[in-house]
Amino acid sequence: MKQIIHCGLIALLAFLSACDRLERVYPDIEEETGEFFVFEDGSVRVPTDNGYSAVNNLKLAVDQYADAALTATESGQEVQSCNVFLLPRGSRYYVEGKWVIKKDVVIRAEAGEGDLPTIQVMADETGSVNADMIRIEGNVVFDGIYFFGQDAITGSHQQRMFRIDGADCRLTLENCFADYCRNFFIRLDARNTKVYLRNSTFRNMKYSATSNGRLIDTRGNGADTVSIVNCLVYNILGHITRHDGSVINHLEWKNNTFYNCGTTIGIEHPRKVVIQDNIFADIGWRQGATSARIDPVTGATVFNRILWDVQASDAVDLEEADVIIRNNNVYSTPELAALYEKYAETAAERTELSSGGRQLLEAGKLRFTDNFSEVLDFDYPAPVSYGFIDLFFSAPDAPDDTFLDVPFFVDEDGVNGIHPDNLFTFVYPSSSRSATASTTGSRIGAVLPL
């Protein structure tokens, strides 16, 4: 395997901006890596990579051990793989080159305390990073994994974390943490896919001020299910879920905290939609920056204040729509409200329901109830780069590269990786309205185990 530090790549780093990039901690090339351990139940413990003599151990394990007859390490008996891969706490796995998971597998952190296992992209010897960290052509579950999208060598950010290529495939993330991505975290390139995000955190998704930084992008392929439950999503520029003109049969957002998400909420060709018990703080400001237009008849300035951009385009949409948007707290922080006031001639806070949404409301196809606005005092929230937003409000039509070197990303300590005992938290007072505002009379927003 290659040595981790190449002279040519070090020279390359001199030309890369250090802005929004964490200090790199190179792998310890002297660290020993263990052996694959096969348990009696057919699960496999995968030894950590060391970036030198061991790279792509996890990729190797899934490719060679899934759906295979194995030899149990202790007994020597033949066992059938159960397609469960266990990653020790604090381990690190580098993805170098293309990785396609074609089988139904579960990749899970071993039980116990300590840092989550890390999956991190790594450039090859030419300095190239694969556009997609992991491509999916099977049903895949990740449980308790930290996805770190900053290349281990160059420090550049991953373009896409996941790309689902197989029709009818299912991707589930439980108790995971995803950090740094340029275009989108999950791209759907096939029909009838299912995505389930549970008890997880997603943050730091941005390329430029006017494009990308999305959590899920259908690329116009639609989906059977996109379900986000009890997740924390913050510091992303793009859509939480982008329909791109397609149908998502089941769209579910429940008990999430969305904080500093730049794009408004688009719901195209609505079918079964449930958005309830969420917190939306500082959301939709990218569109909010360019809210003003001149009425061609009256010459008056008219402001677009639409946040909930529901688009029912035809009779089929109207017939099949079943939409619930309720018990959500939607607000702007005082700092963002001050920027709306500063740029009052062009900008406006987005809070309203679109005409398509009102059409569904009148037809009895949308329940839009008990949504409110309450500014919350979180105990340890991630800082918002209001300087970035201020610059964007001042020149929203500027070229994308105007904003590339303006700090936007956040991190607890400036060192790559995360630690369960030092994470931004979004706990708010029990005396607030939000603490009893859910559909069941309990707390709204995410409550994470990390």
Helix boundaries (H) for 162-310: 285-288
Radius of gyration for the chain, computed over Cα atoms and rounded to the nearest angstrom: 23
pLDDT of residue 87: 97
If DSSP codes are grouped into helix, strand and coil, which group holds residue 389?
helix
CB 350 within 8 A of CB 284: yes
DSSP 262: -
pLDDT of residue 450: 55
| Nearest alpha-carbon partner for 63 in 148, 134, 160 | 134
Backbone phi, psi, residue 340, to 5° = -60, -40
User: How many CB atoms are located within 10 Å of the residue 272 CB?
Assistant: 15
| Residues of the chain where predicted confidence (pLDDT) is lower than 50 | 1-19, 24-31
User: How many CB atoms are located within 10 Å of the residue 45 CB?
Assistant: 19
Q: Taking the domains of the chain in order of start, what are their residue ranges?
A: 159-436
pLDDT of residue 24: 47
If DSSP codes are grouped into helix, strand and coil, which group holds residue 344?
coil
Kindly report the pTM of this predicted structure: 0.92
- % helix, strand, coil for the chain, step of 5: 15, 35, 55
Please report the sign of the dihedral spanned by the C-alpha atoms of residue 263, residue 211, residue 221, residue 129.
negative
pLDDT of residue 349: 97
Q: Which residues contact 257 (CB under 8 A, 6 or more apart)?
A: 231, 232, 233, 234, 278, 279, 281, 426, 445, 446
* CA pair distance 355, 283, nearest whole angstrom: 20
Q: Which two tokens stand for residue 371?
A: 């949504």
Residue with tokens 């660290």: 31
Helix (H) or strand (E) holding 206, with range, is none
CB 95 within 8 A of CB 128: no
- Chain length of the chain: 450
CB 241 within 8 A of CB 249: no
* Per-residue pLDDT tens over the stretch 262-294: 999 999 999 999 999 999 999 999 999 999 999
pLDDT of residue 23: 53
pLDDT of residue 22: 54
